[in-house]
Structure 1
């Protein structure tokens, strides 16, 4: 009988794993001893043992490079989780009314957006598809007007619209109207049915100024450098990544 086709690296696995476990156990013993005697673990590990461990790890990685993308992804997710740990609750809490989709949804997608951003405008249709496909999806919009003074004006009007319970209407009308400016903002406000006098009394309020400043601080803490930027679970995404990537992140966030 002819031998079956070989699987690259298959026979190396038991040996490599055994060597790693053996040397790992040896290293663990040294680290335990070092901890008990208050010696620096790196200094306590014999140079020969350290070299042997490093060689096994080095050779294993060279022989199995496919583990690197997964390792890098795990590192990225761990880094994201650390960045989010102190601010997760805050970043998930919207400015009152600044929510799309199901306001009581069980899964949350956060979007940092700018009305002057073409990629944000491109992502509007993706967000609408997500809302249709995920009835339990809550989308928290964080206004991040970084591209122009006019986008800051539009962001102020959007938050004022949120206070009137008309955030979604203004959000969609503003992106449909084109680049933000006095005329397109007015057009979007009329299309959304805003109380114009009430808006004008609201847009300069300290609470709106505080919201925009805090959104900028949050974006900087998360390492976001532009819009749109997204948070789903422990995943941080940047750019117009598309409906499929966002949907995958939402499913991962469900656990």
Structure 2
């Protein structure tokens, strides 16, 4: 069902319910001012009162006449519906995040960049073959460079291909090496040409001084498999289905939203403890 159909259905329902108390007879007229008041109440979230069976041949022309006189009513109703849905989604996410704090922030496979003791933590779930993740890499680099109080947690979430899974396995092995610059590895994979595979990741690991044979053995280990399994379970728990997805404070942020949006939300976390501060 399209949004316009849904909105029109809601409008018709609101009109029918409210008009039900006034149309005792099919021939009884209803003036335009009354219709406008009913629709305004519906848009504002008002609840229609008693309902009565109405002949479509009576009510439909009234609805059509009102919509033709004020075509933007559907736009306003759609906007109100969007606001309500976003509020509901935000509350659902807030509750889900509250129940998953340990899985998000205390997972031993978390890849930590920036300030480990930072006052704000930005989590990113990503796939090395995600073009949007690739395009968002400069935003993350700039945030790490410009914000000394920011802690970044990366979570391998390879959902696009088998090659993504193999690259993620190598990445988890590399991340476990204390003497290796993981960010250099991360950048190398996202700036490589073509599809990122296990072989691409092994070559990048070798450039950093690791033995590709040793890494290839470790990448199939149970701890690596368990780490990927935990991230998939977390994504399912939080209803995360795409990459990149950020977790910041009390909000799940899907998509490459851009550095200015991330900066604003980080600033809000510091100011009021939420990504959205009351004005």
1:116 aligns to what?
Answer: 129
Which of the numbers 189, 196, 200 marks the counterpart of 1:174?
189
**d(CA) in 2 for partners of 1:173 and 1:74?**
39
Secondary structure, counterpart of 1:142 in structure 2: strand
Distance of aligned partners of 1:128 and 1:59 in 2 relative to their CA distance in 1, 3 Å threshold: closer
Secondary structure, counterpart of 1:223 in structure 2: coil
Q: CA deviation at 1:104?
A: 2.1
Distance of aligned partners of 1:143 and 1:59 in 2 relative to their CA distance in 1, 3 Å threshold: closer
1:98 aligns to what?
Answer: 111
Moved more, 158-167 or 205-214: 158-167
Q: CA RMSD in A?
A: 2.7
Which of the numbers 52, 75, 79 marks the counterpart of 2:88?
75
Distance of aligned partners of 1:191 and 1:104 in 2 relative to their CA distance in 1, 3 Å threshold: farther
Moved more, 230-239 or 77-86: 77-86
2:30 aligns to what?
Answer: none
1:1-255 pair list within 5 angstroms: 58=42, 60-61=44-45, 72-96=85-109, 98-165=111-178, 166=180, 167-178=182-193, 179-254=195-270, 255=273
Contact 2:124 2:153 in 1 (8 A): yes
Secondary structure, counterpart of 2:124 in structure 1: strand
Number of residue-to-residue matches in the alignment: 202
Q: CA deviation at 1:242?
A: 0.8
1:7 aligns to what?
Answer: none
Q: CA deviation at 1:71?
A: 5.3
Return 5+ residue gaps in structure 1 as ranges. Answer: 1-54
Q: CA deviation at 1:60?
A: 4.7
**d(CA) in 2 for partners of 1:172 and 1:201?**
23
Contact 2:170 2:198 in 1 (8 A): no
Please state which structure has a larger fraction of its residues in helix.
Answer: 1
CA shift digits 1:63-96 (9 cap, x unpaired): x988776655543332211111111222122444
**d(CA) in 1 for partners of 2:43 and 2:140?**
45
Q: CA deviation at 1:195?
A: 3.8
Secondary structure, counterpart of 1:250 in structure 2: helix
Contact 2:128 2:190 in 1 (8 A): yes
**d(CA) in 2 for partners of 1:185 and 1:121?**
15
Secondary structure, counterpart of 2:225 in structure 1: helix
